[in-house]
Amino acid sequence: MTKTRFTLAAALFAVLAYAPVSNAARIEEGSIEVNGSLDLDFINAYGTNFNGDLGMGYYIRNGVMLGGRTQFAVMKDYSMFGLFAVIEQNLEFDTPLVPYFGADLGAVVVNLSDEAFVGQGGRYTHPDTKDNDWDGGTRGAFVGIFRLGCKYYLTEMAAIDTSISFALASDSIYARRNKEPGNANVTLRVGLRYSLF
């Protein structure tokens, strides 16, 4: 399965590398951009998983975007919902590729079922955290995220977005397989962006 995914990703990259695109990246002052990514995984050890994010931003000046984003994940024993304020600096060159870096600051609420603590092979296990008071249920945290990424414009308005994010939370909210929950997380994201005008 991994080999098939790698082959598909390599084929997509090859097509995009030689596709004729416009050099007019839509990151000038006054532009509004929407973005999102969704992942629905039907068959895995944890049942059906659904996760993704949706966002919108406004360019307050050329290359500088302010906006908001919501992030969500629903798994068998773990669910998460977060709201973030976003600031992003885009670097425009005379190519369809626009690198950027940004930061998100927001709040996240997670919910763990009691079954998440059952330590059977291949399932999330959640021993008590440092404060020994989390035996399942709901917990919230403030989260700061630093992102590095790039947008590749397929047309003048639509782009494929790829980024890596480094998140640090005020509490241990990130599920880890067969380990205690942690307060740091690294995410590789591929999504779409579209400029409304």
11 falls within a domain = no
pLDDT score, position 139:
84
Using one digit for the tens of pLDDT, what is the confidence trace for 21-74?
Answer: 444 457 888 899 999 988 776 665 556 677 889 999 999 999 999 999 999 988
14 falls within a domain = no
Chain centroid to Cα 19, Å, comes to 26
Expressed as residue numbers, the domain containing 167 is 22-195
Residue 4, pLDDT > 90, answer: no
2 falls within a domain = no
31 falls within a domain = yes
Chain centroid to Cα 124, Å, comes to 21
85 falls within a domain = yes
* Terminal alpha carbon distance of the chain: 39
13 falls within a domain = no
The dihedral of CA 48, 184, 102, 187: what is its sign? negative
Residue with the bigger pLDDT between 16 and 112: it is 112
Secondary structure element (H or E) that encloses residue 146, with its range: strand 137-153
Using one digit for the tens of pLDDT, what is the confidence trace for 133-178?
Answer: 455 678 889 999 999 999 998 888 899 999 999 999 998 887 666 6
CATH number at residue 141: 2.40.160.20
Distant-in-sequence, close-in-space partners of 56: CB < 8 Å, separation ≥ 6? 32, 33, 34, 35, 67, 68, 69
pLDDT (average), residues 67-88: 89
Residue 101, pLDDT > 50, answer: yes
66 falls within a domain = yes
- Asked if 45 and 74 count as a contact pair (C-beta separation under 8 A), the reply is no
User: Model pTM?
Assistant: 0.73
Write down the residue that tokens 């399932």 correspond to.
Answer: 123
187 falls within a domain = yes
Q: How many domains does the chain have?
A: 1
